[in-house]
Amino acid sequence: MALRLGDIAPDFTAETTEGTINFHEWLGNSWGMIFSHPADFTPVCTTELGRTAQLKDEFEKRGVKVIAVSVDPLESHTEWVKDINETQNTTVDFPMIADKDRQVAELYDMIHPNASEKSTVRSVFVIGPDKKIKLTLTYPASTGRNFLEILRVIDSLQLTANYQVATPADWQQGEDVIVVPAVSTEDAIKKFPKGVTIVKPYLRTTPQPNK
């Protein structure tokens, strides 16, 4: 069964390039991102893992732990990391799950038989400190993911978790946000001292509260 937003992220124990982990214990009280790769030593995946490593400081700034998964064995991961570091001019220092029995891939519905019976699609799950799934993304195996977009969504998710706001289309850090409908205009004016603009009774904006 496909996982849905708000579901508890399935727990598991797995071998990784940084030793055996229990997923929920590894996450602790942090945000997390788990993302799958069709196979080791493939070109698009090489750029994706390299890009994630390059963005290490951005993920850390947001308190997000990153973990990758591929159905290839641990020895293959270890060798592949050398290639990633060399070709992408970076250092991969997050764990990669060796999912040769497809335990994690099956738990997270990462194998879509009509696309490929042997390898995972490019799935992304962002998980909150409450262990609930906050975001799911699925790309075809041929398309590299946009990790700046993933960071943008994490920013939005964390704003929503900490303040009663939502973000409009194409929102970027520092831009105005939307007051959620559950907050009355009267309460919004008290809650957001930077000001509330009433575009329509149901569409009210305020400057980003944490900037």
Show which residues are catalytic.
45
Q: What angle do CA 44, 102, 80 make, to 5 degrees?
A: 35
Question: What are the helix (H) ranges across the chain?
Answer: 23-27, 43-54, 56-61, 74-88, 103-107, 147-162, 185-191
CA distance 169 to 30: 27
Specify the length of the chain in residues.
211
- Residue pair 67/16 in contact (Cβ under 8 Å)? The answer is yes
CA distance 65 to 34: 9
Residues 6+ apart with CB under 8 A from 195: 206, 207
Q: What angle do CA 170, 173, 177 make, to 5 degrees?
A: 70
Q: What does DSSP say about strands 64-70 and 31-37: parallel, antiparallel, or unpaired?
A: parallel
CA distance 94 to 88: 15
